[in-house]
Amino acid sequence: MDTQQKAKEIISGFSIPGELVGIKTNTQGHINSTFISTFEKNGERRKYTHQRINSNVFPHPDEVMENIVRVTSHIQEKTKDMDEAERRALHVIPAKDGKPYIIDDENMYWRTYGFVDGVNTYDRVPDENISYNLGKGIGTFQSELSDFDSSSLHTVIPRFHDMGMRFSQLDTAIEKDVVGRVKEVQEEISFLMDNRERGVRIWNDFESGRLPSRVTHNDTKINNVLFSEKTGEALCVIDLDTIMPGTILFDTGDMIRTACSTADEDEKDLEKMEFSTAFYKALVEGYMESAASFLTELEKEGIKESGRTITQIMAVRFLTDYLQGDTYYKIAYPEHNLVRARTQIKLMQSMDRQWKEY
Ligand code: GN1
Ligand code: MG
C-alpha cells in the first residue's frame, strides 16, 4: 500500500466530522511525511493536516504530542479574545479514542491538525516588512510562553543544539568516512574546525545556567511561521515537534539564519547567498518590540551571535549527514546535503565580512 493510501486509512480514525473528499501529499519538511485532506459536511468544506511522525528522529512521539497539546492549549488560552484567534495556535484533532495520535500497524505515529487557511508562508523573506513581522511574531510566541514552566516539558531530542556534541558527531563521521566523501570536503571541514571553539559558547552558557531555560521551539525557520493574509502579521508558529526546554537564543538564531539570507538553504549558486544586514535590522527591531520586556541582559547580548551559531550548527549537521551517507535528512539528489552545508558556510562568511556593520 502506498503512503497516501495508508494515510487515507489512518485519517478515518480521527474525530473529524463529514466525509473525506480529497487528499494531497505535501512535500515540504525534511523529516515527517505530511498530507492535506479535505472533508465535506452539509456542503461545507474544511481542510486538515495529517502527519506521520518520523520515529527515527523522534523516538517518543507520545511525548512529542504531549508537549504540543500543552503548549498549543496555553497559547489558545492567551489569544482567545484576539482577532483571528483561530489562526494563532495550531489545534490538535484527537483520534476517536481521545488520544492526540494514532499508531499504525507498523508502529508509526500519526497526528492531525486543523488546516490553517487565510495565511501566507515564505521560504525566504521578500522584504523588510515581512522580516520585521517575523521578528515580532517569534518574540510574541516566546512571550506567550514566558510563564510556562519549561522544566515540565519532555526533552524530545536530548542535546539537540549542543554544538560540542554535533562536532563530536562530525569527528566520528570524518574518522569513519563510510562513503569515502571526506576527501571532497577538506575546505568545509577546515572552516568549521577553525570556528569550533566560538560555536560552543551559547550551549556552554545555557548548560552552566548563565542563560535561563525557557520553552524553545528549536526550528523557527521562516517557513514555519504563518502570516495573516489580511494584515501581514505573523500569527502562528507551526512545526512544534522540537518544543522543549532550551535557551531562546536557539530560536533567535534560526530565525536570523533563515530570514536574513538572500538564497534558499539548498541554493547551488553560492554567489547568490549573502547575509542581509537590512533584513537583520528589521527582524531584530520587530523581535525586540515583543520580547525585550522578558529577556535578560545576557540573552539580549547573545542575539547577534546566535544567528552565526545556529547557521554553524546546521552546516555541521548537513556535512555530517553527507559524510554518513545521508541517513537523516530527506535528499532529492546525492549532493543535496553538501549543497546545504555549503550555503550555511557561505552565510557565516558573509556575516563575518559585515560583522561590524550590523
Ligand atoms: C529539519 O523537518 P524540518 O525541515 O522542519 C530539522 C531542523 C533543521 C531544518 C533545516 C528535527 O527541520 O533542525 O533546522 O531541518 N529538524 C530536526 O531546514 O532535525
Ligand atoms: Mg521541524
Distance 258 CA to ligand 1 centre (A): 12
Q: Which three cell numbers stand for residue 85?
A: 484567534
- Measure 243 CA to ligand 2 centroid, in angstroms: 10
| pLDDT at residue number 1 | 63
Expressed in angstroms, the distance from the first to the final Cα of the chain is 53
pTM for the model stands at 0.95
The domain boundary, picked from 55, 89, 117, lies at 117
Ligand in closest contact with the CA of 344: 1
pLDDT reported for residue 144: 97
Q: Quick one: pLDDT at residue 43?
A: 96
The verdict on residue 123 lying in a domain is no
What was the pLDDT predicted at 349? 98
Could you tell me the CATH number of the domain that includes residue 268?
3.90.1200.10
Distance 176 CA to ligand 1 centre (A): 24
Mean pLDDT over residues 30-53, rounded?
95
**Reported confidence tier of residue 49, pLDDT bands at 50, 70, 90:** very high
Q: Which of 30, 169, 313 is the pocket-test mutation for ligand 1 (most atoms within 8 Å of CB)?
A: 30
Ligand 1 atom at shortest distance from the alpha carbon of 221: 14
Residues lining ligand 1, Cβ inside 6 A: 29-31, 57, 219, 221, 239, 242, 265, 314
Do residues 271 and 148 share a domain? yes
Which one, of 243, 233, 170, 239, lies nearest residue 200 by Cα?
170
Q: Are residues 138 and 236 in the same domain?
A: yes
Q: Which residue, of 117, 139, 163, is where some domain finishes?
A: 117
**What is the percent of the chain where pLDDT is above 70?**
100
**pLDDT tens-place string over residues 54-76:** 999 999 999 999 999 999 999 99
Residue 2 has pLDDT above 90, yes or no: no
Q: Report pLDDT for 30.
A: 87
Domain around 101? 3-117
Q: Closest Cα partner for 347 from 160, 224, 195, 237?
A: 195
User: What is the average pLDDT value for the chain, to the nearest integer?
Assistant: 97
What does the pLDDT read at residue 88? 98
225 alpha carbon – ligand 1 mean position (Å):
14
| Same domain as 237, residue 291 | yes
On whether residue 122 sits in a domain, the answer given is: no
Q: How many helices (H) and strands (E) does the chain have?
A: 11, 10
Which residue has a Cα nearest atom 17 of ligand 1? 31
